[in-house]
Amino acid sequence: MLSFTRRTIVSACALISCGALMPSAFAADPIKIGLVTALSGQSAQAGESIVRGLSVAIDEINAKGGLLGGRKIELIRRDDEGNPAKGVIAARELIYKEKVSVIFGGLDTPVSMAIVPLVNQEKVPFMGPWAAGTGITKNGASPNYAFRVSAVDETVDKAMVQYAQKTFKSSKAGLILVNNPWGESNEKGLIAALAEKGSKPVGIEKFEGSDIDVVPQLNRLKAAGADTLYMVGNVGPSAQVVKSLDRMGWKVPVVSHWGPAGGRFTELAGPNAKNVHFVQTYSFFGKQSPVGEKVINALKAKYPNVKGPDDITPAVGVANAYDGMQLVALAITKKGSSDREAIREGLESIDRYEGLIKTYTKPFSPTVHDALSENDYVWAQFIDNRILPVGLSK
């Protein structure tokens, strides 16, 4: 039998040992948030903007003590390089290995369209902060795990037609579209939007993402009498459209989806990049709401290269990701759980959130998984390499 002194020492040592282990043994596990987006290539700047929007939202939530009684949020990133197959591999790793509670995914509609069947199969909430393909959220699944705080093609297409007809008196629409699922989504949407206005395209032309010359397609649209071009393509291909117009000497209004905002458009397209008018969901220029001021200040504090709105680009990636993360946090809090099914149910039952882009009132329901409408768009152009709302020159 141990003496009283020895028993005391052994007990004390045991308590000390247990105490030393307690922080790691009982520490609340982080809530893992996955991100699949393009972090390299021509759209890397847009991918980084999503990272920054998520990061400042996560910092804000963690600074307030995290969620569910002290659990911090952890962001785990994967680069899909704009490739659908790589996007699916990344999503599978996040789901099965990292066991994330939610996946944010990314820039390209083809990548998101490839991931959505997987997240619905595995019952993992997916929040889209950029890709606008209508079928991402309207995918036929029930229950549906794909949500979005971003533009939606069929809604953007209506806005493009309305803007072109109001601003440029457009009556003969020429469609110039990237030849992929995103282009197909917008082809359907633009034809429907024009039909609502009693019109139809005078021509529809496609280009590949790797094309460096689209003069033949543009010549056909010009010969058909197009007085406005409706353009859908990401940074590189859209820049080639502008350069091809320059080579032709054809000065025609270009109304675009938001692809040009995703990276080095002005560098690639040249001086006439400024002539392209494109849709955005947010701008950090002009008078800001208290949430806008808070986000700008957080970005300045976290990223040394951010001195002001000029450096928050593209703004939509930051804004959409920020609001998307805050809505996910609200869903987790509302259901008191980071379980994937609980988060889906929580998103569908959010009542109100005073966000960056707007004040959201019941942003999601079992049948509506897109939080933004046509009333939430801003039209912009490049002025001195800055994305500014049309009509705002400084």
Q: Going from the N-terminus, what domains does the chain have, and what CATH number goes with each?
A: 31-151+286-373 (3.40.50.2300), 154-280 (3.40.50.2300)
What's the average model confidence in pLDDT over 3-26?
Answer: 44
Please give the pLDDT value at position 393.
53
**CA R_g for the chain:** 24
Cα angle 38-131-320, degrees, rounded to a multiple of 5: 90
At 145, the amino acid letter reads Y
Q: What is the pTM of this model?
A: 0.83
Please give the pLDDT value at position 392.
65
Q: Quick one: DSSP state of residue 30?
A: P
How does residue 313 score in pLDDT terms, banded at 50, 70 and 90?
Answer: confident
The helix (H) or strand (E) run that includes residue 113 is: helix 109-122
Q: Quick one: DSSP state of residue 365?
A: -
**Whether residue 20 has pLDDT greater than 80:** no
3-state secondary structure at position 102: strand
Please name which of 188, 186, 252 lies closest in space to residue 221, comparing C-alpha atoms.
252
**Whether residue 319 has pLDDT greater than 60:** yes
**Whether residue 173 has pLDDT greater than 90:** yes
Please give the structure tokens belonging to residue 28.
Answer: 């609340």
Please give the pLDDT value at position 27.
54
Using N-to-C axis directions, what is the helix angle for 109-122 and 84-92, rounded to 10°?
A: 30
Please give the pLDDT value at position 265.
87
**Whether residue 379 has pLDDT greater than 70:** yes
**What residues have CB less than 8 Å from 97, skipping those under 6 apart?**
none
More confident call, 260 vs 23: 260
Using N-to-C axis directions, what is the helix angle for 181-196 and 109-122, rounded to 10°?
A: 100
How does residue 384 score in pLDDT terms, banded at 50, 70 and 90?
Answer: confident
- Residue 220 CB neighbour total at 10 angstroms: 16
**Where is average pLDDT lowest: 83-92, 138-147, 195-204, 367-376?**
367-376
Please give the pLDDT value at position 236.
87
What's the average model confidence in pLDDT over 276-304?
Answer: 95
**Where is average pLDDT lowest: 82-91, 111-120, 299-308, 375-384?**
375-384
Whole-angstrom distance, CA of residue 299 vs CA of residue 294: 9
Number of alpha helices (DSSP H) and beta strands (DSSP E) in the chain: 13, 14
Q: What is the mean pLDDT of the chain?
A: 91
Whole-angstrom distance, CA of residue 312 vs CA of residue 301: 13
> Tens of pLDDT along 26-48?
458 999 999 999 999 878 888 99
Please give the pLDDT value at position 388.
86
Please give the pLDDT value at position 387.
85
What's the average model confidence in pLDDT over 53-59?
Answer: 98
What's the average model confidence in pLDDT over 353-382?
Answer: 94
**Where is average pLDDT lowest: 179-183, 227-231, 263-267, 323-327?**
263-267
Please give the structure tokens belonging to residue 56.
Answer: 């400042």
**Whether residue 15 has pLDDT greater than 90:** no
Q: Quick one: DSSP state of residue 259?
A: G
What's the average model confidence in pLDDT over 70-82?
Answer: 97
